[in-house]
Amino acid sequence: MQLDEQAPLLRMRKASFRYPDAAEQVLKDVDLEIAPGCCYCLTGPTGSGKTTLARILSGLAPDGDGGGELEFAPAVASAAMPVGLVLQDPDVQLLASTVGAEVAFGLENLGVEPAAMPERVSAALTAVGLAKAHDFPVDKLSMGQKYRVLIAAHLVMEARLLILDEPGAQLDPEGLLQLRGLLERLKAAGIAVLLCEHRPEPLLAVIDEFWQLTGDGRLQPGRWTGTAVPSGSWSVPSCAGLSEALLHAEDLAFQGADGQDVWSGVGLELRRGERMVVTGLNGTGKTTLLRCLLGFLAPSGGQVSILDGLPEPGRLRGRVGLLFQNPQSQLFENTVREEISFALKRLGLARSTIAERVSQVLQGFGIEDLAEASPHKLSYGQKHLVALAAVLAPGPELLLLDDPLAGLDGYRSQEVLELLVRWSDHHNMALIWTSHEPDLEYPWAHRVLRLEGGRLVAA
C-alpha cells in the first residue's frame, strides 16, 4: 500500500462523547491528526477518557452520545481493518490456543480462504520478530511475546495505525524493551502508533509527540515531565526499632505443575511495622509466594510461621489483609459503608464500634462523600480506594498487596501509596508489596527483594 508520507492517515474533528449515565462529556471538541510512521503518546489521569478515545478511533465506540468527524486517507480507508486496538491485558485478548490460530483470527473474520492464511500469518509473525511455530501454545509465551502476537494479529489485517492501551500496566521491563524495538521497526515501515500510557518512560525513545487529556474532556498538546511515577517525599526508613517478627519463612520451595521449581531456597523474615517490596519479572512466582505465605498454597518444601503459628487462612482472618491486582473484584456490597463494615461485622464487633470504625476509615481515606454510593458505580481509582479501605478496616497486622498500582495513574498511585504508608506508620502494620517493575524506586520500603532465577535475593 502506497501512502503519502506527509498526508495524515486520519483526522478527527470536533469529537465529543458522553456516557449514558454521565452528567459531563468525557471528550469535548477533540481535534487530532495522525501521520504515517509517527508515534504519539496520549496521557491523562485515570478516567479522563483515554480508552474511550482509543475505542472511537478504532471504530468501537462504547454506548453513549457521540459527535464529530473521523476521516481516513483514501488508501487507508480501503483496508478492511485500518486501525488495530490492543487492550491492556493480553491474556483476555488471546482467543485461540495456538500462535497461528491467534494471528489468523482476524483473517477468519474477514473470510480469507484457509489456504491463504498460513503465509500471511508467517509474514505477520516475521514483522513482529517472533519465530514460533504456528502450533506453539499461546499459554507458554512470555507476556512480552503475547503482546507481540496481538500486534501481529492486527498487522495481518493490514492495520496502518496501532493503538496500544497501557502496555506498561502488564509488561515488565524486558517486555517493554522488546516492545520498544518493535515500535521502532513498525514506525520505519510507515505504521503509526498511538500509546495510551501513564508511564511512558521505557518507550520515550520512540515517541514523537505527546497529547494530554486534561480531565475536562479537552485534548491538548502535552510534554512529558516525568512526574507520573510515584516518588513521594519519604526518607529511607530504618529497620532499627522493628523487633517483633511477624513472619518467618525458611528454605521455602514451590514446584509448578511440570515438576520444575518455580523458586526454591526462599527465606525471609518480616517484623512488625516493616515494609517489604518483592519485585520480579512476569511469571517469576510473586503471587505464588504470597499464597504460600498465607497457607492458600502448600509449598513443596520449607517452613512458614506467620503470627506465631502455621499459615492457616482461618486463623489469619482479620489479622492479615490481602489485595490482589484487581482489587475492585472483591467488592460486593450495595454501599461503600456496608463494604467497609463487612469485615468488622464478621469479627463480631458491637454496632456502635463498627459505626465509629467505619467513620474513621472513611475520613482517613477522604471518601466520606462516597459512604452511601454503590461501590460498583465508582470510578476505577475510587474502587481501588474503597477496596483498600475495606481490607484495612479491621486493622490487620500484616497486609499483602499483589501489584496494587497496576492501571492507576501517577496521581492515584501517589494517593494510594501515601495512604498505605501513613496507615502502616500509624498502626504499626507490616507490608509485603509485589511489583513487576524492578526498576522503580521504593523509598518508603525498609527492604526491597527481587525474585530472579528462582531465588529471592536483595535488590
Partner 1 sequence: MGSRMPAAQGRLAQGGTRDDGIGRRMIVVMVLSCLAFLARRVELLLLLTGINAVAIFWLHRGPLSLRREMRTFAWQTAIILGLHLFRFRTMAGLWLGFKVSWQLFLALLPGMVFARTASQSGIVRVLTRVMPGRAAFVLSTCMRFIPRLLGEIKNIYEGQVLRGARILPRDLVRPWHWADLLHCVVVPAVVQGMALAGHIALAARARGFERFPRRTCWPGE
**Touching partner 1, residues 170-229 (CB under 8 A):** 189
Residue 216 Cβ, how far from partner 1 at the closest point, in Å? 26
The residue among 228 and 323 lying less far from partner 1, judged by its C-beta, is 323
State the Cα–Cα distance between residues 61 and 58, nearest whole angstrom: 8
- Among 65, 135, 368, 439, the residue binding partner 1 under the rule CB under 8 A is 135
- Among 5, 63, 114, 369, the residue binding partner 1 under the rule CB under 8 A is 114
The residue among 127 and 228 lying less far from partner 1, judged by its C-beta, is 127
The residue among 120 and 199 lying less far from partner 1, judged by its C-beta, is 120
Question: HEC states along the chain?
Answer: CCCCCCCCCEEEEEEEEECCCCCCCCEEEEEEEECCCCEEEEECCCCCCHHHHHHHHCCCCCCCEEEEEEEECHHHHCCCCCEEEECCCHHHCCCCCEHHHHHHHHHHHHCCCHHHHHHHHHHHHHHCCCCCCCCCEHHHCCHHHHHHHHHHHHHCCCCCEEEEECHHHCCCHHHHHHHHHHHHHHHHCCCEEEEECCCCHHHHHHCCEEEEECCCCCEEEECCCCCCCCCCCCCCCCCCCCCCEEEEEEEEEEECCCCCEEEEEEEEEEECCCEEEEEECCCCCHHHHHHHHHCCCCCCEEEEEECCECCCHHHHCCCEEEECCCHHHHCCCCCHHHHHHHHHHHCCCCHHHHHHHHHHHHHHCCCHHHCCCCHHHCCHHHHHHHHHHHHHCCCCCEEEEECCCCCCCHHHHHHHHHHHHHHHHHHCCEEEEEECCCCCCCCCCCEEEEEECCEEEEC
Residue 228 Cβ, how far from partner 1 at the closest point, in Å? 24
The three grid cell numbers given for residue 401, joined into one nine-digit string: 498487596
Residue 85 Cβ, how far from partner 1 at the closest point, in Å? 4
- Among 7, 66, 134, 180, the residue binding partner 1 under the rule CB under 8 A is 134
Residue 371 Cβ, how far from partner 1 at the closest point, in Å? 19
State the Cα–Cα distance between residues 380 and 384, nearest whole angstrom: 6
Residues 277 and 449: beta-carbon distance below 8 Å: yes
The residue among 277 and 320 lying less far from partner 1, judged by its C-beta, is 320
| Among the residue ranges 153-161, 200-208, 217-225, 274-282, the one whose residues contact partner 1 (CB under 8 A) | 153-161
| Among the residue ranges 111-119, 233-241, 267-275, 405-413, the one whose residues contact partner 1 (CB under 8 A) | 111-119
Q: Which residues within the stretch 259-278 sit at the binding site for partner 1 (CB under 8 A)? A: none
The residue among 22 and 204 lying less far from partner 1, judged by its C-beta, is 22
The residue among 238 and 260 lying less far from partner 1, judged by its C-beta, is 260
Q: Which residues within the stretch 292-331 sit at the binding site for partner 1 (CB under 8 A)? A: 294, 296, 313-314, 316-318, 320-324, 326, 329-331
- Residues in Cβ contact with 381 at an 8 Å cutoff, skipping those fewer than 6 apart: 46, 47, 408, 409, 412, 415
- Among 56, 155, 362, 429, the residue binding partner 1 under the rule CB under 8 A is 155
- Among 131, 188, 240, 458, the residue binding partner 1 under the rule CB under 8 A is 131
Residue 347 Cβ, how far from partner 1 at the closest point, in Å? 6
The residue among 157 and 219 lying less far from partner 1, judged by its C-beta, is 157
Q: Which residues within the stretch 63-92 sit at the binding site for partner 1 (CB under 8 A)? A: 80-81, 84-87, 89, 91-92
Count, residues near partner 1 per rule CB under 8 A: 80
The three grid cell numbers given for residue 293, joined into one nine-digit string: 505465605
Taking CB under 8 A as the rule, does residue 288 contact partner 1? no
The residue among 93 and 214 lying less far from partner 1, judged by its C-beta, is 93
Residue 423 Cβ, how far from partner 1 at the closest point, in Å? 16
Q: Which residues within the stretch 231-260 sit at the binding site for partner 1 (CB under 8 A)? A: none
Q: Which residues within the stretch 418-447 sit at the binding site for partner 1 (CB under 8 A)? A: none
For residue 125, CA distances in Å to 102, 131, 272, 414 come to: 11, 7, 51, 39
Taking CB under 8 A as the rule, does residue 5 contact partner 1? no
Residues 262 and 288: beta-carbon distance below 8 Å: yes
Taking CB under 8 A as the rule, does residue 111 contact partner 1? yes
- Among 78, 126, 379, 428, the residue binding partner 1 under the rule CB under 8 A is 126
Residue 17 Cβ, how far from partner 1 at the closest point, in Å? 16
State the Cα–Cα distance between residues 209 and 224, nearest whole angstrom: 9
The residue among 129 and 366 lying less far from partner 1, judged by its C-beta, is 129
Q: Which residues within the stretch 364-423 sit at the binding site for partner 1 (CB under 8 A)? A: 376, 390-391, 394, 396
Residue 58 Cβ, how far from partner 1 at the closest point, in Å? 6
State the CB neighbour count (10 A cutoff) for residue 416.
21
Taking CB under 8 A as the rule, does residue 149 contact partner 1? no
